[in-house]
A and B are shown apart, each in its own frame.
Chain A
Amino acid sequence: MKALRSTFRRLMRNKFFAVGLVFFLVVFVVAIFADHLAPMSYRDMDVPNALQPPSREMPFGTDQFGRCVLSRVIYGSRIALWVGAVIVIIQTTIGIFMGLVAGFQGGYLDSIISYLTDVTWSMPVIVFALAIVMVLGPSLNNVIIAIAVVSWAQLARVVRSKTQSAKNKPYTEAARALGMSNTRLVLRHIFPNILSPIIVLTTLALPQAILATTALSFLGLGSQPPAPDWGVILNEGIDFIEFAPWISIFPGLAIVWTVLGFNLLGVGLRDILDPTLMD
């Protein structure tokens, strides 16, 4: 507990982490209290008031159906955080499992997993995600699956190499000589060694996941209207770019704010926990 508090204090002295944390907390609070913060419903249409510029009642203006853009952007934060979290959980689980098995077991399992990792690594992520979404059909859940299954390779690689080096350390050998079971060995001696890179890479993967899903939603392959997904709002807004640019400006700013927050957190964590990790 004490160690945790001192790490946190060290983290807060890192400007990137501190600023990133503020950015993240803002999005988090907005997502939690969306029902209280949003001035209007995100889906009730009011066609006579369509395409109104920002005003006192509608700070972000209204869209082509007269819906409040501010409320839609506020509710969109829920989708973005949810999607980011789910993708990262799936891809981290696959990555840790693959990396641990390959690094700890070695042998033919290692060869097979390394081969799979290298091949996945050399596939263009967004292009393969597009092909998978075509097969599964356009929906937010399918986009989550598609992106998660093509983006675990980096973590698997790092976990594998860290596991290998921890496995050959004297303390691991000693524990094994004392008759410690494999499960306990992994939990007690291997896992603490791979925890830092996992935290850093996961934090940096989250913004990537949000960028990729909003891109696919923007292309009409992810969330479907009337969902207040930021990508969907941008997709609808581009048709009105000439006379209602506010529909396109605000959801984009929301994406930048969220993604920047996580990127700053990730950079701060990397500086403190594992400076050797490259981008």
Chain B
Amino acid sequence: MLEYLVRRIAWAVVTVITVSIVLFAILYAMPGDPIRMIIDPRMPPEMLEELKVRWGLDQPPHIQYFMWASRVLRGDFGTSIASRQPVILLIATRFPYTMALTLTALVVRYLVGVGVGLIVAVKRGGWLDSALVVSTVTLRSIPNFWLGIMLMLFFGVRLGWLPISGYDSPISLVLPVSSLALPWLADTMRLTRTEALEVMREDYVTTAHAKGVPHTRVLLKHVLRNALIPVTVMFFLSLPWLIGGSVVIESVFAWPGMGRLLWRSILAQDVPVVQGIVLIISVLTVVCNTLGDVVCAFLDPTIRAEYE
């Protein structure tokens, strides 16, 4: 187990470093002199050269990368070109909103998806399978931003029940969370049901039944635990997807989060902010993927056994 953990974490670190190099290279290739976007165009050229030297912009790209990376490791993401504020401060004030949005969407998706999935697993029937496949495919074909606009139109504009933009109170979460969670709901139900049905056919479940263990206990102790392994892994793997989706959803609902900040910074070509946010989302993605694998290994005795 320990060996697996160490290898997994080492791989995660390598991935983060590679992604940060790719990100740095992409933004380094950006046309135009970054310094001209920040300073007064009337500044004399000697001062410009002096500033370049002071900020290390005269160095070759790999040295600049190391300078950037070591600043980032110390928590210094630079200064926003548009607002002249420290990037870390801009991100820190918006990060909680994005987390509130994505984590609520994730929890809703799993409570409803896993719950309904388990309930319908007990009921058999081909029509149920078809219904779940059809709703999975249909829900996945709806662009989340359009779903958001339609929810906004119906529940916000027509019925006037729910706020349609910004954040005033937790009730503002309802529409953006629904737009993020709904497209994947049937997916989670189907996965849970398929897994549960598969586990119910296992020998140990038959054995438990034969031993006279009460039905509910078999369901909870044997079926649920094993059926939840892939579902749990999907829980971690889908967080990055939700954060990606939140960029669009936050823009629709004028949500004061990191995704909307990313969008506005891209339109304003505010490189330090974009660099910071993309890096943070990438690190989150790698951490979630790693957690997913580790949790899977922890829950699944067959993977654990390979390393013992």
| Chain A residues engaging chain B, CB cutoff 8 angstroms | 16, 115, 118-119, 122-128, 130-135, 207, 211, 214-215, 218-221, 234, 237-238, 241-242, 245, 248-249, 252, 255-256, 259-260, 263-264, 267, 279
Contact = CB atoms under 8 A, between A and B. Distances in A.
Q: Which of A118, A119, A134, A241 has the most CB of B within 10 A?
A: A134
Given A234-B146, A245-B157, A130 B286 contact: no
A218 B241 CA distance: 18
Contacts of B187: 279
B247 A130 contact: yes
Contacts of B252: 238
Given A123-B285, A241-B153, A259-B141, 13 more contacts: A127-B281, A128-B26, A128-B278, A130-B274, A130-B278, A133-B266, A211-B143, A215-B143, A234-B145, A234-B146, A248-B149, A248-B153, A249-B153
Contact of A220 (B243, B267, B289): B267
A40 to B, nearest CB: 24
Interface of B is mostly: helix
Interface in B125-143: 133, 137-138, 140-143
A123 B263 contact: no
Contacts of A267: 133, 137
B174 interface: no
B26 A135 contact: yes
Contacts, number: 121
Contacts of A132: 26
A122 B285 contact: yes
Contacts of B19: 119, 122-123
Contacts of A263: 137, 140-141
A238 B146 CA distance: 10
21 contacts: A119-B18, A122-B15, A123-B285, A124-B241, A124-B244, A124-B285, A126-B244, A127-B281, A127-B282, A128-B23, A128-B278, A131-B27, A132-B26, A134-B269, A134-B271, A207-B141, A219-B247, A221-B266, A234-B149, A245-B153, A256-B143
Given A128-B278, A234-B145, A252 B286 contact: no
Q: Which of A115, A118, A130, A249 has the most CB of B within 10 A?
A: A130
A267 B251 CA distance: 31
B150 interface: yes
A131 B281 contact: no
A252 B146 contact: yes
A268 to B, nearest CB: 10
Contacts of A118: 15
A54 B126 CA distance: 41
Nearest to A125: B244
Contact of B274 (A119, A134, A220, A264): A134
Nearest to A258: B141
A234 B143 CA distance: 11
B286 A219 contact: no
Nearest to B251: A219
Contact of B248 (A134, A207, A215, A260): A215
Q: Which of A125, A211, A234, A249 has the most CB of B within 10 A?
A: A211
Contact of A260 (B141, B266, B281, B285): B141
Nearest to B190: A279
Contacts of A249: 150, 153
Contact of A241 (B149, B263, B266, B281): B149
A120 to B, nearest CB: 9
A211 B147 CA distance: 12
A252 B143 contact: yes
B152 interface: yes
Contacts of B117: none
B29 interface: yes
A193 to B, nearest CB: 27
A178 B271 CA distance: 58
A119 B285 CA distance: 11
B113 interface: no
B17 to A, nearest CB: 10
Interface in B17-39: 18-19, 22-23, 26-27, 29-31
A255 B252 CA distance: 17
B272 interface: no
B237 to A, nearest CB: 10
B177 interface: no
Contacts of A248: 146, 149-150, 153
Given A124-B281, A124-B285, A264-B137, A130 B266 contact: yes
B176 interface: no
B262 interface: yes
B257 interface: no
B161 to A, nearest CB: 15
B81 to A, nearest CB: 12
Q: Which of B146, B149, B266, B285 has the most CB of A within 10 A?
A: B146
A125 B26 CA distance: 14
